[in-house]
Structure 1
Amino acid sequence: MPTSSPSHLRGLAEVAAASVLWGTGGLAVQLIREREALSPVTISAWRMVIAAAVLLVALLLLRRGGELVDLARTRPWQLLAVGVGTAAYQGFYFVSVTQVGVAVSTVVSLGVAPVLLTAAESVRYRRTPTRSRLAVLAAALTGLVLVSVAGHESATGPAPVAGVLLALASGTTYALTTVAGGSISRQASPLVLTSGMSLVGAVTLVPCLALVDGPLVTDDPAAVAWLLYLGALTMALAYVLLYSGLRVVAPSTAVTASLVEPVTAAVVAAVVLSEALGPAAVVGILLVLGAVAGLGRASTAAGPVLPDAKAPDGYG
């Protein structure tokens, strides 16, 4: 089978790297909550605010603030959709976890996105997915189930139906936001797009803190350090990598490759927290990694292999 172009492989690697960073976020949240009883929504809001601040400082230092203004003027509704959508699918997921448990929420929210986008791209391009593409998708989803179920307690929360519906909303919003972000990423630099997305996301999440119980800030040095890590690396850097990858990787390929996130979370928990990886989890990890490696071939990529994006003047 022929391999894809170097740009496609680079884009796939960038999305996978972003997913690795996301996969470390769960540990960071756990360590923060051991120090301070911040709610997941509060942590998400701070994560977005810190990312926006870091990225805006970077734009100012690079003297590229005007590019963000231009992007907001030329693509206001798409930028708004990406920012609000990113904040929304994270919020849907966190609430889903409280209602149906981590395992079900993870499987449904992360599993529905590649299925939806693979189907949508098949309709758009009027082309049935090949058997090899379907095999890669099936392997990735099977691995996701094994990793998620083996790594968490199987007990559900107080409202399973509502939790599943929220997880479906999270996965659907994630899929739509990835498509919107991919569209803009081919016309704006990943740094500028991520800056705008984070700013919109912060404006969306901060008002939600009025509905949250518990402390909104912390003065614990370790908790602050982990919040900075979440904002600067799992948000700012990770989304720059994602949008860079989306310039040459189809959205369905990107969301399939993002299944590296729960794999990373399982491995980090095993290494740092000494949580045992059972046989099912190991098989799941191998299936996901094998599926992501398979996405590097043009014949098995979960969606069309996109040509190199050419940034317009001023967006380099």
Structure 2
Amino acid sequence: MTTGRRSSRLGLLQVCAAGVLWGTGGLAVTVLHQRDGLGAMTVSAWRMLLAAITLVGFAVVARRSKAVLTMMRAHPVRTVVVGCGTAAYQGLYFVSVLLVGVSVATVISLGLAPILAAIWEHLRARTQPSPRQAGVLLAALTGLVLISVTAGHGSAAPVNSPYLGLLLAVAAGTIYAATTVLGHTLAQRADPVALTTCTTAAGAVTLAPFLVAATISNQPLIGTSPASLALLAYLGIATMALAYGLLYAGLRTTSGSAATVATLLEPVSAALLAAALLGERLPWPAILGGALILAAVAALRPTEEPPLQS
């Protein structure tokens, strides 16, 4: 195996690891909501703020501060756009969950992203997807539908406007695809730690008003028990700082379309975690869906994807 191929596979594994970490976040958010009454947007704001603080501290200790400043000076607009887009994706996704339910929001937002990313990359490269690439995408999306609808994700029923919820889910998927593609272009030029630090800081600023809103409206702002604080720290450090660091490191050798397929491991890990810790039963369609996603990820060949042009 050549050095380039090993590097490509390592990048894909890093993106997969990010997806697995994101899959653990849903359970943590649910526990915080049930135990302390924290809203999804309040938790998201804390998640990005704690991640930004962690990354800035790491950059200082690891003497990466200069790389962070260089990143912001060299690509200020794209960096802020990716950071704000990451925050917007989270917000739109959580709101769509409240309006149309978890299963529909997940299928639309996560399912739309790899399709849009692949279309964009092939249009820019003026190529057509190979039968293998089409098969990988079809298997991944079929698996996503099966696992999202059957693996305990269908309990959250729509409560308000289904049409608005669908629109927000489409917007979330579109932004997710766009930020991944833009993150790919930035990852080719920047240190992953610097890129993650800058984008996360921008996202934290974007979501900070939700903390202010929670304070003004006398909504629960933060958990008081050590367990709740530990969960918030885990969300910020593991599912945000570490996960996005892995994503941007992986995007150095993995295309945006391949990355959006690899991160479909998120619902797989979430379903397995719910089965292990909450005792949720996995019906056979969910198991089949998980197997299809795993097979699709295993079949990915990042070096065969059309390259993005800057």
Letter in 2 for 1:159: S
Q: C-alpha deviations, 1:166-225, integer Å up to 9, x for none?
A: 001001001111111111111111111111111111111011334445211221111100
> Which of 224, 227, 231 is the aligned partner of 2:229?
224
Q: How far is the alpha carbon of 1:86 from its aligned partner?
A: 0.5
The SS at the match of 1:129 is coil
- Segments of 5+ residues of structure 1 without an aligned counterpart are 307-316
1:4-23 equivalences in 2 (<5 Å): 5-23=5-23
1:171 matched residue in structure 2: 173
The SS at the match of 1:97 is helix
Query: Within 2, Cα distance between the matches of 1:148 and 1:138?
Result: 15
1:262 matched residue in structure 2: 267
Letter in 2 for 1:117: A
2:277 matched residue in structure 1: 272
2:163 matched residue in structure 1: 161
1:28-43 equivalences in 2 (<5 Å): 28-43=28-43
Instruction: Give 4+ residue runs of structure 1 displaced > 6 Å after superposition.
Output: none
- Segments of 5+ residues of structure 2 without an aligned counterpart are none
Query: Within 2, Cα distance between the matches of 1:257 and 1:110?
Result: 11
Letter in 1 for 2:204: A
1:46 aligns with 2:46: yes
Query: Within 2, Cα distance between the matches of 1:33 and 1:96?
Result: 17
1:194 matched residue in structure 2: 196
Please tell me whether the aligned partners of residues 16 and 257 of structure 1 are also in contact (alpha carbons under 8 angstroms): yes
1:77-92 equivalences in 2 (<5 Å): 77-92=77-92
Query: Within 2, Cα distance between the matches of 1:256 and 1:169?
Result: 18
1:149 matched residue in structure 2: 149
> Which of 280, 289, 295 is the aligned partner of 1:290?
295
The SS at the match of 1:24 is helix
Please tell me whether the aligned partners of residues 99 and 163 of structure 1 are also in contact (alpha carbons under 8 angstroms): yes
Please tell me whether the aligned partners of residues 140 and 291 of structure 1 are also in contact (alpha carbons under 8 angstroms): yes
Please tell me whether the aligned partners of residues 253 and 302 of structure 2 are also in contact (alpha carbons under 8 angstroms): no
1:233 aligns with 2:238: yes
Q: How far is the alpha carbon of 1:297 from its aligned partner?
A: 7.0
The farther-off stretch of 4-13 and 112-121 is: 4-13
Please tell me whether the aligned partners of residues 32 and 222 of structure 1 are also in contact (alpha carbons under 8 angstroms): no
The SS at the match of 1:5 is helix
Query: Within 2, Cα distance between the matches of 1:164 and 1:26?
Result: 20
Query: Within 1, Cα distance between the matches of 2:140 and 2:52?
Result: 32
Query: Within 2, Cα distance between the matches of 1:297 and 1:209?
Result: 39
Query: Within 2, Cα distance between the matches of 1:94 and 1:45?
Result: 12
1:61 matched residue in structure 2: 61
Question: What RMSD, in angstroms, separates the aligned Cα atoms of the two structures?
Answer: 1.6
1:314 matched residue in structure 2: none
2:210 matched residue in structure 1: 208
Q: How far is the alpha carbon of 1:156 from its aligned partner?
A: 2.9
Query: Within 2, Cα distance between the matches of 1:293 and 1:269?
Result: 23
Q: How far is the alpha carbon of 1:305 from its aligned partner?
A: 6.5
Q: How far is the alpha carbon of 1:239 from its aligned partner?
A: 0.5
2:112 matched residue in structure 1: 112
Q: C-alpha deviations, 1:90-134, integer Å up to 9, x for none?
A: 000000001000000000000001001111111111111011110
The SS at the match of 2:139 is helix
Letter in 1 for 2:31: L
Please tell me whether the aligned partners of residues 83 and 197 of structure 1 are also in contact (alpha carbons under 8 angstroms): yes
Please tell me whether the aligned partners of residues 8 and 302 of structure 2 are also in contact (alpha carbons under 8 angstroms): no
- Greater fraction of residues in helix: 2
Query: Within 2, Cα distance between the matches of 1:199 and 1:181?
Result: 15
Count of residue pairs brought into register by the alignment: 301
The SS at the match of 2:175 is helix
Letter in 1 for 2:112: V
1:309 matched residue in structure 2: none
Letter in 1 for 2:235: L
TM-score with structure 1 length normalisation? 0.92
Q: C-alpha deviations, 1:141-188, integer Å up to 9, x for none?
A: 000000000022264332111111100100100111111111111111
Please tell me whether the aligned partners of residues 35 and 220 of structure 1 are also in contact (alpha carbons under 8 angstroms): no
Query: Within 1, Cα distance between the matches of 2:27 and 2:104?
Result: 19
